[in-house]
Amino acid sequence: MDDGRIPVRSFRVVFALERRLHKIDRWRIPVPHGIPLRGIAYALTALVLVLLASGLPVIGGPMALMAPPLRLVILPIALAYLLIQVQTDGRPAHALAVAAIRQTVVPRRIASWRAVTPIDHRASLGELVVVADERFGRYRRAVIAGPARVVLRLPARARTRARGLRVRQAPGGPMLRGRVVELGPGQRLEVER
């Protein structure tokens, strides 16, 4: 005798707020926890796309070689199952597709409510001096890309790398005359702690 109760095998299913189809009239669907309505919508959308793709000249030929049950039933259900599994940042596949389309259509930079094209040239700032204050007597982590001229006022150990140097502070106080490191274009100086 069916009293209308559904056995719960996992509390994850209870707290998953998703509409699911459990029965069609009096016939109970033989899938534990039912079929998500979103999956049915994905399957119908995939079926429409398969039917539209069958009429295209390039894709229609290989689609016609597939057996009708495989093309019209199994392929849309498989696509719907894969789309149900996709959840990036908690968003379902259709919301993710809308966000991706919006990302490509909407301009990336806006100024005064208008799209702005990015400037592709670099500006030279001239000489830039970075000095630590009296409370900080050690090098901070940094990556400096050339062309640049770097003056090291604290003792340091340097190791050569493929495209530049890796510097680590050595014991000792500030030097009266610092070491000058000239970096060419594409060379890097990495300062470690």
Report pLDDT digits (tens) over 30-46. Answer: 888 888 889 999 999 99
Q: What percent of the chain has pLDDT over 70?
A: 90
> What residue ranges do the domains of the chain occupy?
11-104, 142-192
Cα dihedral value 142, 143, 146, 151, nearest 10? 30
Tokens coding 184: 């060419």
Smallest CA-to-CA distance from 163 within 183, 149, 179 is with: 183
Q: Is the previous residue joined to 174 through a cis bond, with omega within 30 degrees of 0?
A: no
Q: Is residue 52 scored above 90 in pLDDT?
A: yes
Q: Is residue 128 scored above 80 in pLDDT?
A: no
Query: Is-contact 31 11, C-beta < 8 A?
Result: no
Weakest mean pLDDT among 23-32, 123-132, 148-157, 168-177: 123-132
d(CA 107, CA 87): 25
d(CA 95, CA 115): 25
Q: What are the beta bridge partners of residue 192?
A: 168
Q: What global pTM score does this model have?
A: 0.50
